[in-house]
Amino acid sequence: MIAGVLTLATGVAGAVSARELLGRALTAEARGDLPTAARALEELVAAGVDSDGVLYDLGTVYARQQRFGEAIWCFERVLRRAPMRWAARDNLRATRMRLARRDAGRTGQAVVEQAVPLRVQIGELVPPGWSVMLGVLGELGVVLALWRRRRVTSELEGVGTTVALVLSLTLTVGALGLVAARRALPAEAVVLHSGMRLKQTARVDGIPDAAVREGERVVRMSRDGVFTRVRTLTGAVGWVETSELGGL
């Protein structure tokens, strides 16, 4: 699938073609040279190859390198756009489990996963295009049901048309709700590395405050220079260097 996407890609990184970078990444991964594979895939992403397949493969390489925060970021980006991609969902769950086992071995405490707010879960429920398509189908169903109601010749047909109209209206309202939830998703990011602590001020020498976990989702609230103010799922607020965040 990745090769098919890159066949159509015209972007290059420097003087190296996208196809050559992909071949380099796959060859390096096959022989166990994970740093080279990661660099080649990173160059593809930097060259503008916005492919879920490339992000998925990059996340897999990161996970094999135990760069768990960056792996989670890649898988989260894939699932934000393609929630039905089960392989990415399975790899995300496995990566979080490996990260939790590592944290447990280091500190004796670990968090596998935290529940995100319901409105975020709804917004990420289906791909964006699906919501629009379902809304269009619902509206077409409403129009056809109303048209058919004018031509019913029996009570049974009238009941069937009414049921079709109710179902079409429900589909339309549900699709509009999904679109609204997707548009209302907060500006989120993933913490890329371990050992990070929120700072009370947007300064390098700012007083450290609450810790944030590698791979944790945070909401981006504002930015000040090279720092971003974030809020964690537990409600802690503080500043962290923007380079330590991967935007979703």
pLDDT computed for residue 13 by the predictor: 42
pLDDT value of position 126: 82
pLDDT of residue 9: 46
- From CA 164, how far away is CA 175, in angstroms rounded? 16
Is pTM beyond 0.85? Reply is: no
Residue 41's identity, in one-letter code, is L
Contact criterion met (CB below 8 Å) for 232 and 209: no
3-class SS of residue 195: coil
Confidence (pLDDT) at 16 = 65
Burial of 242 (0-12, 13-18, 19+ CB in 10 A): middle
> Looking at residue 103, what is its pLDDT?
86
Which residues are within 8 A (CB) of 48 and not within 5 positions of it... i.e. 6 or more apart? Answer: 11
Question: What residue spans of 66-152 are helical by DSSP H?
Answer: 68-81, 86-107, 118-123, 128-149
225: left (phi over 0), alpha (psi -120 to 50) or beta: left
CB 51 within 8 A of CB 5: yes
Encode the chain (248 residues) as per-residue pLDDT tens digits.
444 444 444 444 445 677 788 788 888 888 888 888 999 888 888 888 778 888 999 999 999 999 999 999 999 999 988 888 899 999 999 999 999 999 888 877 777 777 787 778 888 888 878 888 888 888 898 888 888 888 877 887 888 888 888 999 998 988 888 888 888 888 999 999 988 999 999 988 888 988 899 999 999 999 998 999 999 988 899 999 999 999 98
**Residue 207, helix vs strand vs coil:** coil
Give pLDDT, residue 220: 95
Contacts of 140 (CB under 8 A, 6+ apart): 168
Cα–Cα distance, 33 to 170 (Å, whole number): 52
Question: What's the DSSP call for residue 206?
Answer: P
Distance of alpha carbon 49 from alpha carbon 33, whole angstroms: 22
Amino acid, res. 225: G
